[in-house]
Chains A and B, each alone.
Chain A
Amino acid sequence: EAGVAQSPRYKIIEKRQSVAFWCNPISGHATLYWYQQILGQGPKLLIQFQNNGVVDDSQLPKDRFSAERLKGVDSTLKIQPAKLEDSAVYLCASSAAGTNTEAFFGQGTRLTVV
């Protein structure tokens, strides 16, 4: 079974630029998550999708972050404009049955904002 795919693996941008990350979840998984992991900390949820609808985006900084999952499969996370404090690993995860079930993580995208 293929795992969660993310791209790119690494990205370096200057502050105030924009960036986008892509995620392809495990086939058949209805729930998709984006997490932000700052170095030295545990992952923090940014947004959760159930199919193509947003279930929880309470911790997403909506003034600069946006995410979509238009066809209920792939998802993109965008930051515009980026700030220095956005430097982190952005992890995508998917699960078959939503909260209270195991989530499978991708390798993440390491973003460095300079």
Chain B
Amino acid sequence: GESVGLHLPTLSVQEGDNSIINCAYSNSASDYFIWYKQESGKGPQFIIDIRSNMDKRQGQRVTVLLNKTVKHLSLQIAATQPGDSAVYFCAETPYGQNFVFGPGTRLSVLP
């Protein structure tokens, strides 16, 4: 399939290690955030979300951290697997407005 994000920032991690993907968002009024995963040739897939009244939320092998003071969002993936290789986007939205996607980070999992 076609590639997504040929010139994106890339994070390379060893299989089994933990990954941390960072995102700086722009709108201090944003109150809902989503991390999406996009594999080559596919549409974005929901991973995890968080609302602004929280600073941490955990899912299966993933954790999202929100720091509203510095407008920073991070996605932590535990025990990274080859299937985690993809482009990851953060998306932000102020209430009632549509999502604005960040530029994306390519995660490359090394064997």
Contacts and interface: CB of A to CB of B under 8 A. Distances in A.
Given A48-B98, A102-B34, A93 B103 contact: no
Interface stretch (A34-42, A60-68, A71-79): A34-42
B98 A39 contact: no
Contact of B49 (A39, A43, A45, A102): A102
A110 B4 CA distance: 11
B7 interface: yes
B96 interface: yes
A107 B41 contact: yes
Interface residues of B, number: 30
A57 to B, nearest CB: 11
Size band of the A side of the interface?
20 to 34
A103 interface: yes
Nearest to A35: B101
Contacts of B101: 42-44
Given A42-B102, A42-B104, A93 B4 contact: no
A100 B41 CA distance: 26
A102 B98 CA distance: 11
B6 A39 contact: yes
Interface string B63-82: 00000000000000000000
Nearest to B104: A42
Interface of A: 4, 33, 37, 39-45, 48, 56, 89, 91, 93, 99-100, 102-108, 110
Interface of B: 2-8, 31-32, 34, 36, 41-46, 49, 89, 91, 93, 95-99, 101-104
Given A42-B89, A100-B95, 4 more contacts: A37-B4, A40-B103, A99-B93, A102-B34
9 cross-chain pairs, A with B, having the tightest CB-CB distances, nearest first: A42-B101, A105-B43, A105-B44, A100-B32, A40-B7, A45-B98, A42-B89, A43-B101, A40-B5
16 contacts: A33-B98, A37-B4, A39-B3, A39-B4, A39-B6, A40-B5, A40-B104, A41-B104, A42-B89, A43-B101, A44-B101, A45-B99, A99-B95, A102-B46, A105-B36, A107-B42
